[in-house]
Structure 1
Amino acid sequence: MQLSNSRVVPRLLRSPNKINILSSKKTISVDHFKQNFLDIEKKWKKKWAKQSPFPVGESGENKYILSMFPYPSGSLHMGHVRVYTISDTLSRYYRMKGFNVVHPMGWDAFGLPAENAAIEHHISPKSWTKSNIEKMKRQFEYMNVHFDWDREIVTCDPAYYKWCQYLFIQLFKKGLAYQDDALVNWDPVDCTVLANEQVDSQGRSWRSGAVVEKKNLCQWFFKISDYSEQLLNDLDHLRSWPEKVKKMQQNWIGKSKGLEIKFKTNQNYTINIYTTRPETVFGAAFIGLSKSHPLIQSESQKDDTLGNILKNDYSSNVGFKLPIIAYNPLTTTPIPVYYAPYVVDEHGTGAVMGVPMHDIRDFSFATNNDIFWSPKHVVLPPKSEAVKHESPYTGIGVMSEICGEYKGMNNREAALKVSKALQNLDTAQLVTKYRLRDWLVSRQRFWGTPIPIVHCDSCGAVPVPEHELPVELPELTDIYGKGSSPLANLESWVKTDCPQCKQPARRETDTMDTFVDSSWYFFRFLDPKNENLPFDPKKIENDMPVDIYIGGIEHSILHLLYSRFLAKAMKDIGLWKNDNLKNEPFTRLITQGMVHGPTYVSQSTGRILKPDQVEKISDNFVNTANPDDKVDLCYFKMSKSKHNGVDPVNTILRWGSDVTRAHLLFSAPVDGVLQWDSTGIVGAERWLLRLATCVQNIQQMTQTDVSNLSNMNDKTLELLEQTHGYMNACAKNYENIFSLNLIISDSMKLTNAIHNCLKDNSAPRSALKTSVEVLVQCIAPVVPCISSELWNCLGHKDSVYKSWPSMQKPVITKKTVSIPVQINGKWRLQVHVPNNCLDEKLVMKAVLAHPNAHQWIGDKKVVRTIVKPKVVSLVVK
């Protein structure tokens, strides 16, 4: 069979003749249901466009459910469909529970992709972005997600970025926004500056993939470092955040306590190094300096060889020896000074004390650069451990003979004493360091929020008066920047008057990092039309912080850390306050897993093949062009390069939005990787059709009054008990969120139980209708259109979302019970016996009558029988 993207249209979608919408009939027709599936969705979407299906919240409680708003690329992918299906499902559930739900949507519309696309297609980024938003809104309609579109915001709209500029000015006035010369990360492809967080471990840009260069530029920063301790400590209050995310932020903030040691040099220059292991100073073999260390920068201006080395990849382990000698402050031993690429600025001072025998990176660098050092360890392991003579040892232990008076001490005790000795020599001080650096917000691009600053020769940097905001982007035909912002080329826009002295001045031509736009949008959603403030503090006090925030774990550091900082800074500005959660913006964080697609990989070449290049023979996949080339089926993140993407709109047009939603939620726990299987979606369709069959058969049954529980048979009682447990489990799983998949699996089980009761004619219509009504209501958040149709077919004229189902647990003793039978220590059978029956003969009669009894007992002798109310145990020989 050849694999391709085409497939037979399921029978559910075949509609040869126009048929009336299903619920217009008195009884449900499953054939109509199959044929009119998409018509049913159209019907309910049209109805809901005129009138909301949701009642006004009765509990008086608010629930703010937010999914991270998308960049308007022009097309939704399956990852989008997953995250927005999750948020929509939760919002529908909480509306049924009587909450006033806020579930908004907007667009993170500034940024490089739109600017680069505009340059490529010779149109304005504004037009490009507007067109993409219109496309994606139509795709949202296919998904049948219910957003509060009256709260919609677009970050490239001056009505929004006016308030980004307002916040910038408030931070500037408070000293939290400042300009400084800095050695910055320069992306040579996108021609813009990158924050440290936007450069990966290989020194490449997070977006373009280009090797990042270093440039000295005057840049704008937000003083996030002032909040390092708050950001770290307040992670403890985020009890409903994934521990993995909190750990990532904790590591990024990177608090440590150590010693800053001064190493004097032969050039009247002191190098400060930071260490958490001062006792290893006896083994210092070199000083390593980072690329941006002032000494390296000054020396590179004098030495072309060093200048060329600085252009190499960050991952290089090739250093450069400077014509400088440093002196060990404790032993006065002279040691060389090197440029060392592995030394970074994000933590410490940009300078390290290289101790090869006690640090693997120091050892590797010293080896690669032929640095001489004594192969003796400063710290020796405990006697029970052996240490390789010429290998670094990083554990705890005792000080060696090269440490003089500290010989034999525990290294932790020695660290305190060495630290004290260095402080007494006035060559060291105890310090607390953070890895977190100030947030660089300048970008040399056009498509972003203009920084609202005017530069005056007399007054310096002056904020634009608030009544003149927004500073709008001009219309430009050429938006390609050549080392500076494209705005710098438009003199008519740049030239202005100083707001203070009224003399000629120039506007700031950098724009803001787009993470500024996305670090406070959740506040604006609550008051999107406010023309006087970013938001009215009174309007947000009942909704902030966000109750449930849903998005990818890839935003754990950048977006989430910046959002936390800005929320705390806005508290200090006086815009909001929330003492209960320490001014944190998100109460609960849900990080959904990625969606992976089926990927075909040639075993012989490792090349990724397109689906139509593969065919299945027996149980194996082979290359169509070469049947001897076997192909592995793997799952990877969906991408064009892997030929494994799935168009969500085509999927919805083929199967319907409800079936697609059910399949997405059923396929994996919310935080797990979802391996998209197009063949598996039919299972969700079959389940919903079986449910429709049950509704049809129940509606056609004759009404029998068995309201008295004592008159019900055991099958009926079991069904009602299962229904009650199912209802409670659904509520629990909706609120747990991570186990939404269990709602679908439990719904399938209850559907089968109802189906079996109908098949056996073992339950009255009243009980069956109660069960199926609870089931339809419980799945309403997942499958809105189908549940609404079935609810109407069950005779209800009100909305299925009117309330969460309510049902009392049946309290009655069953006449018979099902108990497990253990044979020779293993569970083998399940038999029905009278309730609380301890009669061994009666129980054995039921066991031997079981159709599978012969398989496990046969001609063997039962040598021991134990009968208890909830279990039967047999020993046979």
Structure 2
Amino acid sequence: MQLSNSRVVPELLRSANKINTLCSKKTISTAGYKLNLLDTERKWKEEWTKRSPFPVNESAKKKYVLSMFPYPSGSLHMGHVRVYTISDTLSRYYRMKGFNVIHPMGWDAFGLPAENAAIEHHISPNSWTKSNIEKMKHQFEYMNVHFDWDREIITCDPSYYKWSQYLFTQLFKKGLAYQADALVNWDPVDCTVLANEQVDSQGRSWRSGAVVEKKNLCQWFFKISDYSEQLLKDLESLPFWPEKVKKMQQNWIGKSKGLEIQFKTDKNYTLEVYTTRPETIFASAFLGLSKSHPLVQSQAEKHGDLSTFLESDDANNFGFKLPIVAYNPLTNASIPVYYAPYVVDEHGTGVVMGVPMHDLRDFNFATENGISFPSVNAVLPQNSETVNNETPYTGNGLMSEICGEYKGMKNKEAAKLMTKKLESLGIARFVTKYKLRDWLVSRQRFWGTPIPIVHCDNCGAVPVPEHELPVQLPELTDIYGKGSSPLANLESWVKTDCPQCKKPSRRETDTMDTFVDSSWYFFRFLDSKNNKLPFDPKKIEKDMPVDIYIGGIEHSILHLLYSRFFSKVMNDIGLWKNSNLKNEPFTRLITQGMVHGPTYVSQPTGRILKPDQVKKVSGKFVNIANPNDEVELCYFKMSKSKHNGVDPISTILRWGSDVTRAHLLFSAPVDGVLQWDSTGIVGAERWLLRLATCVENIQQMEQSSVSATSEMNDKTLELLEQTYDYMVACEKNYENIFSLNVIISDSMKLTNAIYNSLKDNASPKEALKTSAEVLVRCIAPIVPCVSSELWNHLGHKNSVYTNWPSMQKPSITKKRVSVPVQINGKWRLQLKISSDSLKEDLIMKTVLTHPDAQHWLKDKKIVRAIVKPKVVSLVVE
């Protein structure tokens, strides 16, 4: 940086050049102390096996921090590392804040993957699962996360699923668990039933990806529909949940108000239609029935062509016209009746009033199936808007000429009058409907909690008495049987006596949906050793709800809805009374974003290439096998098929857990997608090493006689102000949670400020040490090993986690003025300068020596400078 042609005085030019020369020569000592991050990590991990770094205060206010427990697949992935790093960071922060933190870990251990692996490898799923748990616990040690392992639960352990069975019997006694014949979703690959929530929008299984079929089976259900209104209304009591998640649950529960209207048919059969827009009845063109509607099923038994049609793929818009005619209750016009694949039972009555001119799905179905319909709308726009007869009109307006006595009325007014008329005729009723259907909980698999029911010819379905629980799974190495539960093939296990009449009976051979186990585990963590009850209600009253719950947004409907349901059931069976909180289990919900990995896509073919098939040439990626093929670097969710997975343990072994944690948290906001960049992790390492260098240099400094703030120079005061603001911001961002990345970026800035102050010899040891101590403690939740080492190196014998840092706000005895600095016409920074330093030469000196200004002025020539007490304007080239 050079000054020329400046409008400042020559003395200032000479002074500035001298300052610039000195700035370029100053260095900071790195001799002597050299922090080895991996050795430091080993040292502190060993130390913490001997004694906990956290002070224990069980009388303190509790803070229950919980991350969704994992399925024991046998290996942690980067998604695991991210979510558990977040929860560990928060638990460490709240311990420093003086809370009695509950931070448990367990295993969601039942499920199809273990059963399928057991079948493939001819071992018991229990052995497979327990082996995987041990592997993953060892991997957790590498991560350096601190869990309350004394609270550990494993859902496939009889000591846990005994209480899942107990809760099932309680629901059964209250009429909330029942068995019924139902047309269910059948996964032809995994050979088991799926809940509606486990089928995606394309009609495929959430796990196997197979196109789901429909089967009539006798199944077990939980009556979650009884709680529809409560589950919907109590979302209002969750201000700290993401609005997106609440909206997803609202839509799934799907409350609506409408009219059930009876349509008579020529077969002496009445069809009930549910509609939220009764005023469109005048434009109805057909009735559409769902596959499971009793009329469709009865017709299928009589007509083989319909039966064959129903077995075909539903993923099209072709329907089947039934040999039935319905009649419009207001006009008596005849209406054809169809089986329509787009009609479902989840909402309404399983019958749709097809109004093509006012509903897009009805329009598409009528067009596809050649159904004639009126070209005149029942409702017309009230303004001059022109109706396009090629698309349905779905807005409000005025009733048209086909609506008889209602012609010219506003459609909402007409709907009210029509409702009254139809109700008075006894052919309609106003109802509230919910999309939410009862939870189908039975599965035709082995590796799950056995349903504790005995089927007796005399007594019917009888719950297993509490003293006989758990009904344990047999230890099997060869699992067989598809289409029904493998347990059904084990006669010695199935045969038993009825608990009531003692006559020979048979056990229920279906097992529970694994979501049952995960819908109450957060209660059990608080009393995991209780062998008399699922948990002591007094302990639950003290420690529930979970204060912070962390997991993926993919669980917004299934797990979170079921957990809310179970929590409300706990109230009804007397295990958790918490009316003030509406018996909601999770006060605050944090949905962390996914981790995406670098993915190489061949541009000519769209094929995913492995990283070793790609090289960079002239700034572009190319296919090594065909250098003419350009390759695009994209980021997708990590998976084997995309060759973009990153082994977290290898990363930790290379860089250390502190660096890995810092890089993960720094790379994206908590709720944002994290694009994993292995090349960027070195930045986190450099930051920690620079901080260690600062601490060493501070300790090597001689004690200064300067102690009072009033005697401090502007640089020192600025550093202390920055430190205080940093500490306050850190606390705010830890509480906010979503801004953990900002904590690290702010920490890097303060590290650089300390480094530059050391380099320029601008501040006394006391001020620098104060800043370093605050910084080291503020990052302790994120980088536990490095912060503990540096805290000790600063001369402290106690744990860095003893308490959260405190610092008085620096008192300013001299008035400080903000001076904005403009470089090449753009505002680049703002300096705070003491009121007695507003002379041109002092202002210019401050600008030239300020580290933030160096970013813009380094290796630049100042060709013009205007320096005034309230502004500095520089032109550089």
Give TM-score, length-normalised by structure 2: 0.93
Equivalent position amino acid for 1:564 in 2 = R
1:790 is aligned to 2:790: yes
Equivalent position amino acid for 1:476 in 2 = L
Residue aligning to 1:738: 738
Aligned counterparts of 2:43 and 2:823: Cα–Cα separation in 1: 56
SS state at 1:240 partner? coil
Residue aligning to 2:712: 712
Residue aligning to 2:688: 688
Aligned counterparts of 1:673 and 1:229: Cα–Cα separation in 2: 34
Residue aligning to 1:20: none
Residue aligning to 2:813: 813
Q: CA deviation at 1:153?
A: 0.3
Aligned counterparts of 1:405 and 1:818: Cα–Cα separation in 2: 75
Aligned counterparts of 2:787 and 2:576: Cα–Cα separation in 1: 41
Aligned counterparts of 2:317 and 2:806: Cα–Cα separation in 1: 67
Aligned counterparts of 1:251 and 1:855: Cα–Cα separation in 2: 59
User: Does the 8 A contact of 1:597 with 1:646 survive in 2?
Assistant: yes
- C-alpha change, 1:848 and 1:619, in structure 2 (3 Å) is closer
User: C-alpha offsets along residues 701-756 of structure 1, whole Å, 9 cap, x if unaligned?
Assistant: 11113221111111111111111111111111111000000110000000000000
Q: CA deviation at 1:699?
A: 0.9
Aligned counterparts of 1:570 and 1:242: Cα–Cα separation in 2: 25
- C-alpha change, 1:396 and 1:127, in structure 2 (3 Å) is same
User: Does the 8 A contact of 2:123 with 2:478 survive in 1?
Assistant: no
Residue aligning to 1:155: 155
User: Does the 8 A contact of 1:62 with 1:99 survive in 2?
Assistant: yes
Q: CA deviation at 1:389?
A: 2.8
Range moving further from structure 2, 513-522 or 574-583: 574-583
Q: CA deviation at 1:842?
A: 8.7
Aligned counterparts of 2:120 and 2:180: Cα–Cα separation in 1: 33
Aligned counterparts of 1:770 and 1:846: Cα–Cα separation in 2: 23
Map 1:18-97 onto structure 2 (within 5 A): 33-34=34-35, 36-57=36-57, 60-97=60-97
User: Does the 8 A contact of 1:375 with 1:389 survive in 2?
Assistant: yes
User: Does the 8 A contact of 1:444 with 1:481 survive in 2?
Assistant: no
1:649 is aligned to 2:649: yes
User: Does the 8 A contact of 2:285 with 2:336 survive in 1?
Assistant: yes
- C-alpha change, 1:815 and 1:276, in structure 2 (3 Å) is closer
Aligned counterparts of 2:183 and 2:814: Cα–Cα separation in 1: 78
- C-alpha change, 1:30 and 1:253, in structure 2 (3 Å) is farther
User: Does the 8 A contact of 2:104 with 2:147 survive in 1?
Assistant: yes
User: Does the 8 A contact of 1:264 with 1:327 survive in 2?
Assistant: yes
Aligned counterparts of 2:58 and 2:467: Cα–Cα separation in 1: 41
Aligned counterparts of 1:830 and 1:250: Cα–Cα separation in 2: 48
Q: CA deviation at 1:831?
A: 6.2
Residue aligning to 1:343: 343
Q: CA deviation at 1:480?
A: 2.5
- C-alpha change, 1:436 and 1:859, in structure 2 (3 Å) is closer
Q: CA deviation at 1:562?
A: 0.2
Determine what percentage of the aligned residue pairs are the same residue: 79
Aligned counterparts of 1:102 and 1:578: Cα–Cα separation in 2: 19
User: Does the 8 A contact of 2:33 with 2:696 survive in 1?
Assistant: no
Q: CA deviation at 1:303?
A: 1.9
- C-alpha change, 1:866 and 1:304, in structure 2 (3 Å) is farther
SS state at 1:357 partner? coil
Equivalent position amino acid for 1:608 in 2 = I
Equivalent position amino acid for 2:281 in 1 = V
1:483 is aligned to 2:483: yes
- C-alpha change, 1:356 and 1:760, in structure 2 (3 Å) is same
Residue aligning to 1:427: 427
User: Does the 8 A contact of 2:118 with 2:477 survive in 1?
Assistant: no
- C-alpha change, 1:833 and 1:303, in structure 2 (3 Å) is same
- C-alpha change, 1:623 and 1:46, in structure 2 (3 Å) is same
User: Does the 8 A contact of 1:358 with 1:393 survive in 2?
Assistant: yes
User: Does the 8 A contact of 1:459 with 1:501 survive in 2?
Assistant: yes
Residue aligning to 1:116: 116
Residue aligning to 1:207: 207
Q: CA deviation at 1:817?
A: 4.8
Equivalent position amino acid for 1:753 in 2 = A
Aligned counterparts of 1:735 and 1:121: Cα–Cα separation in 2: 47
Aligned counterparts of 1:800 and 1:391: Cα–Cα separation in 2: 67
**Number of aligned positions between the proteins:** 843
Give TM-score, length-normalised by structure 1: 0.93
- C-alpha change, 1:488 and 1:845, in structure 2 (3 Å) is closer
Aligned counterparts of 1:437 and 1:775: Cα–Cα separation in 2: 53
Map 1:411-490 onto structure 2 (within 5 A): 411-490=411-490
Residue aligning to 1:243: 243
Map 1:249-260 onto structure 2 (within 5 A): 249-260=249-260
Range moving further from structure 2, 764-773 or 52-61: 52-61
Q: CA deviation at 1:29?
A: 7.3
Aligned counterparts of 1:823 and 1:37: Cα–Cα separation in 2: 40
User: Does the 8 A contact of 1:57 with 1:95 survive in 2?
Assistant: no
Residue aligning to 1:145: 145
1:297 is aligned to 2:289: no
Aligned counterparts of 1:846 and 1:69: Cα–Cα separation in 2: 54
Residue aligning to 1:633: 633
1:754 is aligned to 2:751: no
Range moving further from structure 2, 388-397 or 728-737: 388-397
Q: CA deviation at 1:845?
A: 11
SS state at 2:819 partner? strand
- C-alpha change, 1:810 and 1:235, in structure 2 (3 Å) is same
Aligned counterparts of 1:634 and 1:165: Cα–Cα separation in 2: 47
User: Does the 8 A contact of 2:30 with 2:697 survive in 1?
Assistant: no
1:580 is aligned to 2:580: yes
Aligned counterparts of 1:562 and 1:859: Cα–Cα separation in 2: 68
User: C-alpha offsets along residues 665-712 of structure 1, whole Å, 9 cap, x if unaligned?
Assistant: 000000000000000000000000000100111111111132211111
Residue aligning to 1:535: 535
- C-alpha change, 1:845 and 1:682, in structure 2 (3 Å) is closer
Aligned counterparts of 1:58 and 1:180: Cα–Cα separation in 2: 48
User: Does the 8 A contact of 1:185 with 1:213 survive in 2?
Assistant: yes
Aligned counterparts of 2:181 and 2:684: Cα–Cα separation in 1: 59
Equivalent position amino acid for 1:110 in 2 = F
Give the RMSD, CA atoms, in angstroms: 2.4
Range moving further from structure 2, 768-777 or 292-301: 292-301
Map 1:475-514 onto structure 2 (within 5 A): 475-514=475-514
Q: CA deviation at 1:309?
A: 2.1
Range moving further from structure 2, 364-373 or 303-312: 303-312
Range moving further from structure 2, 136-145 or 312-321: 312-321
Equivalent position amino acid for 1:238 in 2 = L
- C-alpha change, 1:209 and 1:843, in structure 2 (3 Å) is closer
SS state at 1:336 partner? strand
1:229 is aligned to 2:229: yes
SS state at 1:315 partner? coil
SS state at 1:541 partner? helix
User: C-alpha offsets along residues 470-520 of structure 1, whole Å, 9 cap, x if unaligned?
Assistant: 000012343222211111111111111111111111111110000000000
- C-alpha change, 1:691 and 1:186, in structure 2 (3 Å) is same
Q: Which has the higher contact order (CA 8 A, sep 6+)?
A: 2
- C-alpha change, 1:31 and 1:320, in structure 2 (3 Å) is farther
SS state at 1:178 partner? strand
User: Does the 8 A contact of 2:595 with 2:676 survive in 1?
Assistant: yes
Aligned counterparts of 2:632 and 2:338: Cα–Cα separation in 1: 49
Aligned counterparts of 1:437 and 1:785: Cα–Cα separation in 2: 50
SS state at 2:622 partner? strand
User: Does the 8 A contact of 1:599 with 1:643 survive in 2?
Assistant: yes
Range moving further from structure 2, 416-425 or 361-370: 416-425
Q: CA deviation at 1:814?
A: 4.2
Residue aligning to 1:22: none
Residue aligning to 1:13: none
User: C-alpha offsets along residues 621-675 of structure 1, whole Å, 9 cap, x if unaligned?
Assistant: 0111111100000000000000000000000000000000000000000000000
Residue aligning to 2:729: 729
Aligned counterparts of 1:37 and 1:874: Cα–Cα separation in 2: 43
1:217 is aligned to 2:217: yes
Residue aligning to 1:132: 132
Aligned counterparts of 1:866 and 1:626: Cα–Cα separation in 2: 62
Aligned counterparts of 1:200 and 1:829: Cα–Cα separation in 2: 52
Equivalent position amino acid for 1:658 in 2 = D
Residue aligning to 2:659: 659
Residue aligning to 1:613: 613
Aligned counterparts of 2:664 and 2:34: Cα–Cα separation in 1: 22
